[in-house]
Structure 1
Amino acid sequence: MRILIIGNGSIGNRHARLLASAGHEIAVLSARPVVDHRGFTSLEDALTDFLPDFVIVASVTSRHGADLDALSALGYSKSVLVEKPLLQTIPKGGITKPAMPVQVAYNLRFHPVIIALRKALEGKTIFATHIIAGQHLSQWRPGRDMLSTYSASKAAGGGVVRDLSHELDLAQHVLGPLSLITSHSARVGNVTVDSEDVAAAILSSTSCPLITIHLNYLDRQPRRHWLIITETGPIEVDLIKSTLSINGNVETIPLAPDETYKRMHQAVLAGETGPCDWDEGIAAVVLADRIAPL
Structure 2
Amino acid sequence: MGYKDLVVYDTDKKVKEAVAARFKINACDTVTKALDETDVVMICTPADSHVPLALLALKKKNAAFIEKPLSTSMKGVEKLRKSGGKRVMVGFNVRFHPMVLAIKNLIGKMGTIYSAHMEYAYFLPDARKGTYASGYAAKKGQGGGVILDHLHEIDYGISLFGRVRSVFGSAQTISKLDIQTEDTADVVLGFKRGFACSLHLDYLQKAYSRSVKIVTKKGIIEGNFATGILKVTEYGKKVTTKKFQKGFNETYKHELRHFIGCLKKRARPAIDVGEATHSLKVALAIKRSVAEEKVIAL
TM (norm. structure 1) is 0.84
| Identity, % of aligned positions | 22
Once the two structures are TM-superposed, the CA of residue 254 in structure 1 deviates from its matched residue by 3.6
Deviates more, 1:240-249 or 1:111-120: 240-249
Distance 2:32 2:119 in 1: 42
8 Å CA contact 1:185, 1:291 repeated in 2? no
8 Å CA contact 2:167, 2:282 repeated in 1? no
> Counterpart of 1:158 in 2: which secondary structure?
coil
Matches for 1:1-294 after TM superposition, within 5 Å: 19=1, 22-31=2-11, 32=13, 33=17, 34-35=20-21, 36-48=24-36, 50=37, 52-72=38-58, 75-91=59-75, 95-96=78-79, 97-100=81-84, 101-123=87-109, 124-142=111-129, 144-247=130-233, 248-254=239-245, 258-271=249-262, 275-293=270-288
Distance 2:246 2:182 in 1: 31
Once the two structures are TM-superposed, the CA of residue 236 in structure 1 deviates from its matched residue by 0.1
TM (norm. structure 2) is 0.83
In structure 2, the gaps of 5 or more residues are 234-238, 292-298
> Counterpart of 1:69 in 2: which secondary structure?
helix
Distance 1:98 1:55 in 2: 18
Once the two structures are TM-superposed, the CA of residue 47 in structure 1 deviates from its matched residue by 2.7
Once the two structures are TM-superposed, the CA of residue 235 in structure 1 deviates from its matched residue by 0.5
Residue-by-residue CA offset, 1:219-242 (whole Å, 9 max, x unaligned): 111111111001111100012222
Residue-by-residue CA offset, 1:29-82 (whole Å, 9 max, x unaligned): 22322322111122222232x2x221111112221122123224xx23342110
In structure 1, the gaps of 5 or more residues are 1-18
> Counterpart of 1:287 in 2: which secondary structure?
helix
Tell me the equivalent position of 1:10.
Answer: none
Size of the aligned set, in residue pairs, is 268
One-letter code aligned to 1:277? D
> Counterpart of 1:234 in 2: which secondary structure?
strand
> 4+ runs of 1 displaced by more than 3 Å?
254-257, 272-275
